[in-house]
Structure 1
Amino acid sequence: MEGRLGPGDRLPSERDLSADLGVGRSSVREALRVLEVMGLIRTATGSGPQSGAIVIATPAGGMQQLLRLQVAAQGFPIADVVQTRLVLEGAVAASLAASESRDTAAAHALLDAMDDADLPAPEFLALDAQLHLALAEASGNSVIAAMMAGLRSAIESYVLEGSARIDDWRGMAERLRAEHRALVAAIESGDGDSARSLVHDHIIGYYTASGLVPDAAL
Structure 2
Amino acid sequence: MHIKQLFYNKNKILINGLYHHLFMNTIVVESQYFAPCIFYKNVNKISHVEFDVYETWQKMSFRNRCTIMGAGGPVTLSIPLEEGRSQRRLMKDVRIANRYPWQSQHWKTIMSCYNRSPWFEFYRDELEVLFQKQVNFLVDWNLACWEWTLKKLGWEISTETTTEYIVHYDMTKWLDLRSKILPKSIMQNFPEPVVYRQVFEDRTGFVPHCSILDLLFCEGKNARVILAKEGS
* TM > 0.5: no
TM-score by length of 2: 0.24
- TM-score normalised to structure 1 length: 0.25
Bigger share in helix: 1
